[in-house]
Amino acid sequence: MKKLTILLLMVAMCLPMMAGVGDGDENATLDFASQYNPVQTGTISLGVTPDARAGAMGDVGAATEPDENSQYWNPAKYAFAYNRAGIAVNYTPWLRKIASGINLAYVSGYTKFGYDDNQAISASLRYFALGEVEAYNTDGQLMQVINPYEMAMDLGYSRMLSESFSMGVVMRYIHSEMTYLDADNEPANTWAADIAAYYTAYPQIGYNECQWAWGANLSNVGGKVSYDGQATSQFLPCNFRLGTSFTFPLDDYNLFSLNFDANKLLVPTFPQSWQFVGENGQVDQTAFEEAKQDYYDMSGIKGIIKSFNDAPGGQKEELHEINWGAGCEYTYDRRFFLRAGYHYEHELKGNRKFFTFGAGASFNVFHIDAGYVLSTAQTSALDQTLRVSLGFDLEGIRDIMGRGGRR
C-alpha cells in the first residue's frame, strides 16, 4: 500500500509525466511548463479505455466491427451486431507504476429485438477502484485509510434507420466517492447522456467485397460534479469521437482492417494565472478569481459551446486538443486475431503517446482478448498496461443448453 494522498493520486492520473522536457535546458523547461495546459475534467475514469480489443489498436472503436463493448465506443453499432445477444467482462490493472490496487472493471452487454433484429437494448457497469489510500494531515500524521472509487451505470438503445445507417442513445448515472470521513466534502453524483451514429457500406474493389464504416459518438453530455457542496465544480469528460474503418479480404480465410479515430474533449480550458498578468508584470488576482468563479458556475452545455474557441493559444491550441488513434486488425478464419496501433496526444495537452499490441481468439460461444500498452515516454505511468477481456455469445450458449436439454 503506497502512502499517497488523494490529490497526488488524481494528479498522477490526469497529467502524464513530461519525460525529456527541455533535455536539461532550464529555460526550455520553464517555457514548456508555462504552455503545458491540458484540459481538466472530473470523473476522469470515464475516459479510460475499458476493453482489450480497442486498447490493442491505439484506443479506436468508433467505427470498428461491432462487439459486446460497443457501449463505450459507439452504441449505435449494436444494431449491426452479428449475434443476437452478448456480454463481455473486462479488467485493467491501471497505473501499476504508481501504486498497486488501482484497477478498472467493466461489464457490457446487449440484446437485439424487433423486426429482423433491427433494434438493440444495451447496458454497462464501470467500476474504477483506487485501492487503499492513506490520508495525512499537514503535520504528516496519518488521519485515515480510505477506499476511493468511481462508478457509472448506463442503459442504451440503438436502432437501424436504414440498411446501412443506425443511431443510438445512452443514459448514464455517475457516482464518484473521493471523500474523507472528517472533512467538509461529499460524494459527487450526476447524470449524462450519449448520442451516436454509425454508417456502413460494402464497396466492391476488384473481385472483393470490402466494408467501409464511419462512426461518431458524442458522450458524457450532462451535468457537472462537485465534492464541496457546489462551491467548486468540475466538468464531465464530454468527448466527441469521429472514426472510420476499412476492412478488406485477403482471401477466403484472411481479413485485414485499418481503423482511425479522432477525439476532442468538449470542455473549456481552466483559467491560467499568466493570462491575467498586467503591464506591471503582476497577476491581477481579482480578475483571475472572477474567471475561475465563472468557470465553476458555467453549465455543462455552455462549456461544450465554449470549448471550441476558448484556448489561450487560439485555434492553434484548439487543434492541439484533438488526439487521435490508428490501429489495424488481422483476422484468420474469424477465430484468431492480431492487433496493433498507436495513440497520439500533443505534448502540451497531456503527452499520452504510446504503441499498443494485442491478440485474441474466438471459440464456439466465447472469445478472449488481451491488449498491451508500450509508452514512448519512459516515465509514463501508462507504460506496460495490460488489459484482458472475455466475451460471450449468449444466443450460442442458449442453443447449446437447449440441445443438451433435448438429449
Q: What is the pLDDT of residues 126-136, one digit of tens each?
A: 999 987 777 77
Looking at residue 183, what is its pLDDT? 59
pLDDT tens-place string over residues 8-25: 444 444 444 433 344 445
Q: Which of 39-43, 86-90, 128-132 has the lowest mean pLDDT?
A: 128-132
The closest of 177, 161, 158 to 77, measured between CA atoms, is 158
The pLDDT confidence band at residue 6, using thresholds 50, 70 and 90, is very low
Within-domain flag for 267: yes
Contact call for residues 165 and 79 (beta carbons, < 8 A) = no
Domain enclosing residue 395, as ranges:
6-406
**Category of 114 on φ-ψ map: left (φ > 0), alpha (ψ -120 to 50) or beta:** left
Vertex 37 angle, CA 35 and 40, to 5°: 170
- Kindly tell me the sign of the dihedral angle through the C-alpha atoms of 74, 75, 80, 83: positive
Cα separations (Å) of 323 from 115, 143, 349, 380?
39, 40, 9, 17
More confident residue, 281 or 113: 113
Task: Give the DSSP H or E segment for 101.
Answer: none
pLDDT tens-place string over residues 318-357: 999 999 999 999 999 999 999 999 999 998 888 889 999 9
Q: Is the pLDDT of residue 1 over 60?
A: no
The pLDDT confidence band at residue 179, using thresholds 50, 70 and 90, is confident
The closest of 226, 235, 242, 231 to 266, measured between CA atoms, is 235
Within-domain flag for 1: no
Within-domain flag for 315: yes
Rounded Cα–Cα distance for residues 218 and 215 (Å)? 10
Burial of 248 (0-12, 13-18, 19+ CB in 10 A): middle
Number of domains in the chain: 1
Amino acid at 159: R
Rounded Cα–Cα distance for residues 131 and 184 (Å)? 22
Average pLDDT rounded to a whole number, residues 195-204:
96
Looking at residue 396, what is its pLDDT? 83
Which parts of 298-359 fold into alpha helices (H)?
A: 300-306, 315-320
Q: Is the pLDDT of residue 232 over 70?
A: yes
More confident residue, 248 or 228: 248
Looking at residue 307, what is its pLDDT? 93
Rounded Cα–Cα distance for residues 193 and 167 (Å)? 14
Assign 59 to helix, strand or coil.
Answer: coil
**% the chain with pLDDT above 70:** 87
Contact call for residues 196 and 217 (beta carbons, < 8 A) = yes
Q: Is the pLDDT of residue 175 over 60?
A: yes
Residues in the chain: 407
The pLDDT confidence band at residue 162, using thresholds 50, 70 and 90, is very high
Q: Which of 9-13, 181-185, 268-272 has the lowest mean pLDDT?
A: 9-13
Give the cell for residue 62. Answer: 468508433
pLDDT tens-place string over residues 104-152: 999 999 999 988 899 999 999 999 998 777 777 777 777 777 788 999 9
The closest of 269, 263, 261, 267 to 237, measured between CA atoms, is 267
Give the cell for residue 43. Answer: 470523473
Q: Is the pLDDT of residue 4 over 50?
A: no
Contact call for residues 382 and 16 (beta carbons, < 8 A) = yes
Rounded Cα–Cα distance for residues 379 and 92 (Å)? 19
DSSP class per residue in 360-371: EEE-SSEEEEEE
Within-domain flag for 280: yes
**Category of 229 on φ-ψ map: left (φ > 0), alpha (ψ -120 to 50) or beta:** left
Looking at residue 94, what is its pLDDT? 81
Q: Is the pLDDT of residue 400 over 90?
A: no
Average pLDDT rounded to a whole number, residues 226-238:
86
User: Mean pLDDT for the chain?
Assistant: 86
Q: Kindly report the CATH number assigned to the domain that includes residue 314.
A: 2.40.160.40
More confident residue, 214 or 364: 214
More confident residue, 179 or 202: 202
Looking at residue 329, what is its pLDDT? 98
Cα separations (Å) of 395 from 82, 101, 273, 313?
11, 35, 57, 53
Kindly calculate the radius of gyration of the chain based on its CA atoms and give it in whole angstroms. 23
Looking at residue 24, what is its pLDDT? 46
Report the predicted TM-score, pTM, of the whole model to 2 decimal places: 0.88
Looking at residue 181, what is its pLDDT? 59
Vertex 140 angle, CA 139 and 142, to 5°: 120
Q: CB within 8 A of 136, min separation 6: which ones?
A: 3, 5, 142, 143
Looking at residue 12, what is its pLDDT? 42
Q: CB within 8 A of 282, min separation 6: which ones?
A: none
Looking at residue 139, what is its pLDDT? 76
**% the chain with pLDDT above 90:** 57
Looking at residue 184, what is its pLDDT? 67
Which parts of 79-137 fold into alpha helices (H)?
A: none
